[in-house]
Amino acid sequence: MAINIQKKICIIVPAYNEEGFLAEVVGDIRKYCPEAQIVVVNDASSDSTKLVAWSQRVPVLDLPTNLGIGGAMQTGFLYAVRNGFDVAMQVDADGQHDPRFIPVLLEALGERGADMVIGSRFLERVGYRASFMRLFGIRFFAWLIGMMTNRRVYDATSGYRAYNKEALNFVAKYYPSDFPEPESIVIMLRNGFKIKEVPVVMKHRQAGTSSVRPLKGTYFVVSNAVAIIISAFKRRLRSSL
């Protein structure tokens, strides 16, 4: 697949207590996208995540306090903007995002007129199988986003994403902080960005612990639903960039 190697690509790996699989993720990213620069955002891990990242000889953004996935990703976006990158991607440190699909997302970003590309588990029924409750939440978000924006997004909770330069500059300023994936879709659509989905195969978490635990499930759904609705009626922000 053709990737424009003239563009500077930053692959952001947010990591919270991911010592178990981080080195393998970094190695696989290098295998499938050797032209990219990898940056690990260590979200105040209490294990050896930072040491593992250092051992892989990649830049490490070491947060002094745990910000969650939204704050960690916004830190990575700011790093990419300040260092002049043209494209940014999120690849999680737990092994769920298979790096062999990195070229697929980058190709779609370059050839389909998209500002953001989402790697979707549900365009093709292969690989990852979500639990009933997780699948219910994902389908509920898809329905709610469709109601609010008149756009269908099949995998609103996927963090496997690529951003072009304009979208990168936007999310560096306006990325949501708490469980950001569904809300950020509404914000970007509301501000005129074009979003595409491409089919990917994801794995179950290979190591570490999910930030969305069963006891947080109800809060996750309710808080995201409220955020989606509020974001759908907020003033547009893009003109103020």
Domain ranges across the chain: 9-235
Percent of the chain with pLDDT over 70: 87
> Looking up tokens 């250092």, which residue turns up?
54
Q: What pLDDT does 223 receive? A: 87
State which amino acid sits at residue 112.
Answer: R
Considering the domain 9-235 in this protein, what is its CATH number?
Answer: 3.90.550.10
Report how far residue 57's alpha carbon sits from residue 46's, in angstroms, rounded to the nearest whole number: 20
- List pLDDT tens digits, range 198-213: 999 988 655 555 544 4
Which residue would you say has higher pLDDT here, 54 or 129?
54
pLDDT at 85 over 90: yes
Q: What is the pLDDT of residue 123?
A: 79
Q: Could you report the per-residue pLDDT of 126-136, keeping only the tens digit for each?
A: 555 666 677 78
Residues in the chain: 241
What is the per-residue DSSP string for 88-103?
EEE--TTS-S-GGGHH
